[in-house]
Amino acid sequence: MPALTKTERFLRLFTEVKPGEGITALMMFANVFLILLAYYFIKPLREGWIAVSDIEGLSKMEVKAYSSFVQSILLLFIVGWYARLADRWDRVTLFTRATLFCISNMVIFWFLQPNFFFEQLPVSGIVYYLWVGMFGVFVVAQFWTFCADIYTDERGKRMLPFIAIGATSGAAAGSWLVDQMVETGLVATEALLLIATVPLVASIMLVRMVEQREGRSVRPEIEAGHQAGQETALSPGKASLWSGAKLVMASKFLLLAALVTLFTNWVNTNGENLLFRVIQEALAVEAQQQGVADGQSMLKFVRDGTTAFYGNFYFWVNIVALLLQAFVASRLLKYGGFAAILLILPVIALMSYSVMALLPVLAVVKLMKIAENATDYSLNNTSRHVLWLPVSSAMKFRGKPAIDTLYVRLGDGLAAITVLVGVHLLMLSTQGFFVFNVMLVLCWLVAGVLLVKQHRRVSEVVSNENAVIKQL
């Protein structure tokens, strides 16, 4: 048996690595680092741009929440389109062309930023907000689909927690750089989009290197018949616009995975919307104290202030997430199993929102949101990818993008409805919103327990099938 290299012995600090796995793992680590680095240049800018995209008669929180609802509808079509592309192209071509498409979009949005080449264009911030959701489909989600298809179930359980460290490291680095560059004035806010294109180009190169090293050119073809105890109910070339959504109804496993994802994002987005409202109120007070009154100056103050705040906020979220990912995720998965790593986030969310319901002040909300988001980006992020290891490539390239994007955005849509009903019909206070979130978390916990049981059944089916194959 070959001996471990020095690199592989080092990687054993984070997870169990076997001989020959180190180089590919490092390339996947670097790849997701670069993707998340770029994403966290884009994401804080989204919050700053939407903050200055006023619509008469709506509060800033409502504009943000309702934009998320529109995004959920738009992504229903985008996920279906992505599934059709996955039928036509091999995984490297799909990754390359989708990433290049997003890079071209980033150059366009660079031109359209407020008070840059143009003055504030109507609804431009909302359009950009919608596009960031699409970026999640075409770049972030597809990387994890590629990753799940590269690794087998056994290797994936060992290597995904390490690769996810790259994601949290990239997110922490990106958010820290945004905070530093905007606060110090080293780089103008308008330049962030152009800078973000560089790591994405490098990411494309790494994907091609991984594919060449692995020596496989597996296309995400639809597999006929029965696999992992699930009927695909779809044949090659028949993916429709709605196939991603329809596929979720094909089995209890997919349905429960969708429900857990839905509750996760509904709860989290409710919290994000409330935090956003408090930030805008604080910036309004600060602007008044500093005597910022001119229209253009106010827009710049609010945009830069919001971008800088979220850069700092995401920095602390991702630093905590990085520590959890590096030293807790693989060990929790190894000793506690899938159940422990899936259910830890709703347990923390239950405690966090209970505290926020009792003390709904900015300092407490920020601290609790850091705890919730850090767990989501690390431990829960690992559980989302481990979830898909037993299933087929067809399920991964159809069902996973549908759930990771469509049902995430449906959670955004339900959060928008929560704002609409809570603000205009029930007149809920901030405390009332937090109490509602506590009730949602309880539903989330029930769905999570059921998903753990179903995942165990699917894994047992795959194990039995593999055992039969070995005997033949």
Give residue 221's pLDDT: 40
- 8 Å CB contact between 378 and 331: no
Give the model confidence (pLDDT) of 307-366 as tens digits: 778 878 888 988 898 888 778 887 888 888 889 999 999 999 999 999 988 887 777 888
Give residue 199's pLDDT: 93
Hey, where are the domains in the chain?
15-471
Secondary structure (3-state) at 388: coil
Residue 96 structure tokens: 């390359």
Give residue 133's pLDDT: 77
Q: Which residue has the tokens 């692995």?
A: 214
Q: Residue ranges of the chain with pLDDT lower than 50?
A: 217-241
Helix (H) or strand (E) holding 191: none
- 8 Å CB contact between 398 and 219: no
Alpha helix stretches (DSSP H) within 361-424: 362-375, 381-386, 393-401, 408-420
> How far apart are alpha carbons 197 and 42 in whole angstroms?
10
Residue 303 structure tokens: 């945009």
> How far apart are alpha carbons 397 and 87 in whole angstroms?
9
> How far apart are alpha carbons 244 and 13 in whole angstroms?
38
Give residue 353's pLDDT: 94
Q: Which of 15, 5, 69, 21 is nearest to 419 (CA)?
A: 69
Chain centre to alpha carbon of residue 455: 21
Using a 10 angstrom Cβ sphere, with 0-12 exposed, 13-18 middle and 19 or more buried, the burial of residue 165 is buried
CATH number of 15-471: 1.20.1250.20
Residues contacting residue 226 through CB under 8 Å, at least 6 positions apart:
none
Give residue 48's pLDDT: 77
Alpha helix stretches (DSSP H) within 89-191: 91-112, 124-135, 142-150, 153-184
Q: How far is CA 400 from CA 270, 285, 385, 457, in A?
A: 24, 43, 9, 19
Give residue 251's pLDDT: 75
Backbone phi, then psi, for 224, in 5-degree steps?
Answer: -75, 155
Q: Which of 28, 8, 44, 330 is nearest to 166 (CA)?
A: 28
Residues contacting residue 461 through CB under 8 Å, at least 6 positions apart:
228, 229, 390
> How far apart are alpha carbons 151 and 117 in whole angstroms?
46
Secondary structure (3-state) at 230: strand
> How far apart are alpha carbons 31 and 167 in whole angstroms?
9
| Dihedral sign of CA atoms 458, 460, 462, 464 in order | negative
Give residue 459's pLDDT: 80
Give residue 229's pLDDT: 39
Give the model confidence (pLDDT) of 53-107 as tens digits: 777 777 778 888 888 778 777 776 776 777 777 778 887 888 888 899 989 999 9
Residue 118: DSSP 8-state: B
Residues contacting residue 104 through CB under 8 Å, at least 6 positions apart:
none
> How far apart are alpha carbons 229 and 464 in whole angstroms?
11
> How far apart are alpha carbons 175 and 165 in whole angstroms?
15
> How far apart are alpha carbons 398 and 248 in whole angstroms?
9
Helix (H) or strand (E) holding 352: helix 330-358
Secondary structure (3-state) at 114: strand
Look up residue 217 and give its amino acid: S
Give residue 342's pLDDT: 93
Residue 101 structure tokens: 């498409």
> How far apart are alpha carbons 118 and 231 in whole angstroms?
52
pTM here is: 0.68
Helix (H) or strand (E) holding 200: helix 192-214
Beta bridge partners of 231: 226
> How far apart are alpha carbons 171 and 323 in whole angstroms?
13
Q: Which residue has the tokens 């239950």?
A: 350
Outline where DSSP puts E strands in 194-283.
226-227, 230-231
Give residue 341's pLDDT: 92
Give residue 246's pLDDT: 66
Secondary structure (3-state) at 12: coil
Using a 10 angstrom Cβ sphere, with 0-12 exposed, 13-18 middle and 19 or more buried, the burial of residue 429 is exposed
